[in-house]
Structure 1
Amino acid sequence: MKKRILGTLGAAMAAMAVFVTPLHRAGAVEQNAAAGEDPAVLAEEIALGNIFLFPDEPAAASDVIPVDNPEPASEPAVTEARAKEEAQVRSGASDEAEAVFTMHQDETVQVLEQADGWCKVSYGIIEGYLPEDQLFVLTQEGYDGTVMKDGAVIRQAAEAEAAEVGKLYTGNGVRVMDYQNGCYKVSYKDAVGYVEAASLKLEGDFTAEAEVRYLKSGMSGEAVVRMQKELASRNYFTGEATGTFGDLTVKALKEFQTDAKVTASGEADAKTLELLYADNGIKKVIPTPTPKPTQTPSTGGSSNVPATQVKGKVQLVDWSIINRTIPRGYTGLQVIDVRTGISFNAKRKGGTVHMDTEPLTAADTAKLKQAYGGSWSWARRPVWVVYNGNYYAASMNGMPHADSTISDNNFPGHICIHFLNSETHAEPGIPQKVDPAHQACVQEAFNAGK
């Protein structure tokens, strides 16, 4: 490269010599000829730019070409950019163009033009082209940046071991000012420092900082949890509030946006979030299906259901199908304890890995407790779940836990009902999994009624 630069520089100097001194070439040749120099050789050397002419006497007025003296033009603003990674500067705006030289990470170039995803740049006296996405173009105001997941650390320097000066969370809108060593230099509230570039989504020109600029698919964190819970409270979101913005969240958000009469993009911008958290009546109406009447024979005034009533009717159905079949919020379920025949009415509260269920009334709670011998227990018991005249093999526990939606049933929480291949929730140190005890009860329920 050094050889190429020197060659280019020599050519530029030669051209300068030709244009600076043409008026005095003849006089210089004559003067040097009188001193014994070969005029032909001198003329050739001057033409080649190897000799610069500095006349002994000022030029006569007749030799000077008058030139207008306009106001000096103001220098154009210089736009600089920093290389995000090692990249090949090419002779043209194409990946197939010849590589002129290699730019190393964090080196700075001047940006001459930007078009069609490419930047024309200069590096010293060399010009070439780089893809825009390999450069961080420095501007006075900077850019909008949005945090994609919780826990992005702001550090004092662009180094993994540098001191921590702050933390960022999903949706935080920051100002991005510079790029160095794979990190963006940002400011947010009172903190200024460097954040790993992978933690941020770079937007357009800087507008303002924001607590939550937007939430969109692929993001995760507490801001997403809060949004999912609010969507669930309005009957749009039917999954677990895991904090991961996936397809189910996109679907729920689009439904909310449609009812809220804003663009149904599936992305939660500032306007959508304002409406979502506002005290308004935007809510999805879920019709309660009318259950198919189920005859429950009684013996001596009890609500026990004999196995003979269900024999040959029980189905062993995978949870993935049950989850799509029984609607969330449905209040017409009947749950029959296989071993005692005791039955109670119930509501499907929700659940994504199994069915969260609540006794419908205080009387139903008493029946559930009776099936467990008068005390609450985590023990698994085989049950038949009746929905629209269909009997499904299942397993339940008898311990009220977590939250509930019915306030007057004397049951502070809900129970879990499992079906074929359903799973338990993950707990600290325990992964989400298919529970063998529940599956054994599901099989017992099926065998008793098949």
Structure 2
Amino acid sequence: MRKQNWLGGFLALTLLLVPRFSLYAAEPTPTPTPAPTPDLNQVFPEKTGNALGDRGERTVRIQQRLRDLGYLSYRPTGYFMNMTQKAVTAFQNNHSLMADGAGVVGSETMEYLFSSLAKRKTVAPESGGVRPKDNPYPRAGSLTEWAVVNAVLPENAQFTVVDTATSIRFTAVRVGGQGHMDIVTADGESYQNYLKIFSGKVSSNKRPVVVEYDDQRYAASLYGMPHGENTGVGGGMQGYTCLYFQGSLSNGLGIVDAEHNANIQIAAKKEE
């Protein structure tokens, strides 16, 4: 009898506790509270209107764009000093921009600077150079999209670059580049030929060229102003220079360069 009473009590207690445990088991695990999104204005507390004395990543981008357009002749530093201010003022004067104030990159200047409306600075002919004789290269390059060329010509690939107006050629090596190709000359002789294309000295001009690689020819546009950090190669070239193909964009900024595009059409013998 005692055994039956004990079993009955145990069953009663079990029936009493099981629903309680089931209730707790059915409760969902609380969803963790997501970490708040950082305030980028606190992470990068640079003012939206850049002026003399500012510094930071935004200034680097402004300087790089001014350099691409020919208003700056030195490498981006991230420091908005006198030369950057003068370059901004020259850009504003060339576009009749007055809303932000002279030398200040406010919303109006920033919008124009990073748009297709941005005009390149008119560069006077450089003195002291020797213009190479015209000797047109007889072969056209193909209008091959950048995505294709980017895959065909990997980093460290060597190829030949030929100026379409003079047939001067040099050997180049790809060292990087995202929206377009960053290249250096392969040796000292190649660097001297690179300079000859630009009248014997570095220049902010751009030239139509044909790239020869693995029995293929690609229409391209070459920049005459090396920039960036030294790569340790280049035959005397300080830094690297840019090579644009069909559909290329500026690194990081993702901007179409109208002059490079026009040169690419010339190199493909499809000048409009």
User: Could you state the TM-score of these two structures normalised by the residue count of structure 1?
Assistant: 0.32
Aligned to 1:444: 266
Mapping of 1:26-425 within 5 angstroms?
Answer: 120-121=23-24, 129-132=26-29, 134-135=30-31, 182=33, 196=36, 306-308=136-138, 310=139, 314-331=141-158, 333-407=159-233, 409-425=235-251
Q: Which has a greater percent of helix?
A: 2
Distance 1:408 1:385 in 2: 18
Distance 1:389 1:398 in 2: 26
Sort the Cα spacing of 1:131 and 1:329 in 2 relative to 1 into closer, same or farther, 3 A: same
Sort the Cα spacing of 1:351 and 1:434 in 2 relative to 1 into closer, same or farther, 3 A: same
Across the aligned residues of Structure 1 and Structure 2, the Cα RMSD in angstroms comes to 3.0
Distance 2:245 2:234 in 1: 27
Q: Deviations over 1:405-447 (max 9, x none)?
A: 3436111111110000110124xxxx42121111000001101
Report SS of the residue matched to 1:356.
strand
Unaligned runs of at least 5 residues, structure 1: 1-91, 93-110, 114-119, 122-127, 137-181, 184-194, 200-301
Q: Which has the higher contact order (CA 8 A, sep 6+)?
A: 2
Q: Which has a greater percent of strand?
A: 1
Residue 315 of structure 1: CA displacement?
Answer: 1.1
Indicate if the aligned counterparts of 1:355 and 1:417 stay in contact, CA closer than 8 A.
yes
Indicate if the aligned counterparts of 2:173 and 2:185 stay in contact, CA closer than 8 A.
yes
Sort the Cα spacing of 1:408 and 1:318 in 2 relative to 1 into closer, same or farther, 3 A: closer
Sort the Cα spacing of 1:306 and 1:437 in 2 relative to 1 into closer, same or farther, 3 A: closer
Indicate if the aligned counterparts of 1:349 and 1:404 stay in contact, CA closer than 8 A.
no
Residue 368 of structure 1: CA displacement?
Answer: 0.7
Residue 307 of structure 1: CA displacement?
Answer: 2.1
Residue 366 of structure 1: CA displacement?
Answer: 0.8
Matching residue's letter, 2:150: N
Residue 305 of structure 1: CA displacement?
Answer: 6.9
Sort the Cα spacing of 1:112 and 1:414 in 2 relative to 1 into closer, same or farther, 3 A: farther
Sort the Cα spacing of 1:368 and 1:130 in 2 relative to 1 into closer, same or farther, 3 A: same
Residue 354 of structure 1: CA displacement?
Answer: 0.6
Report SS of the residue matched to 1:401.
coil
Report SS of the residue matched to 2:238.
coil
Sort the Cα spacing of 1:135 and 1:393 in 2 relative to 1 into closer, same or farther, 3 A: closer
Bigger radius of gyration: 1
Indicate if the aligned counterparts of 2:137 and 2:163 stay in contact, CA closer than 8 A.
no
Report SS of the residue matched to 2:204.
strand
Report SS of the residue matched to 2:174.
strand
Residue 398 of structure 1: CA displacement?
Answer: 1.0
Q: Deviations over 1:188-217 (max 9, x none)?
A: xxxxxxx52x67xxxxxxxxxxxxxxxxxx
Report SS of the residue matched to 1:322.
helix
Residue 378 of structure 1: CA displacement?
Answer: 2.3
Report SS of the residue matched to 1:447.
coil
Matching residue's letter, 1:321: V
Report the number of matched residues: 160
Aligned to 1:434: 256
Matching residue's letter, 2:28: P
- The share of aligned pairs that are identical, in percent, is 28
Unaligned runs of at least 5 residues, structure 2: 1-18, 39-131
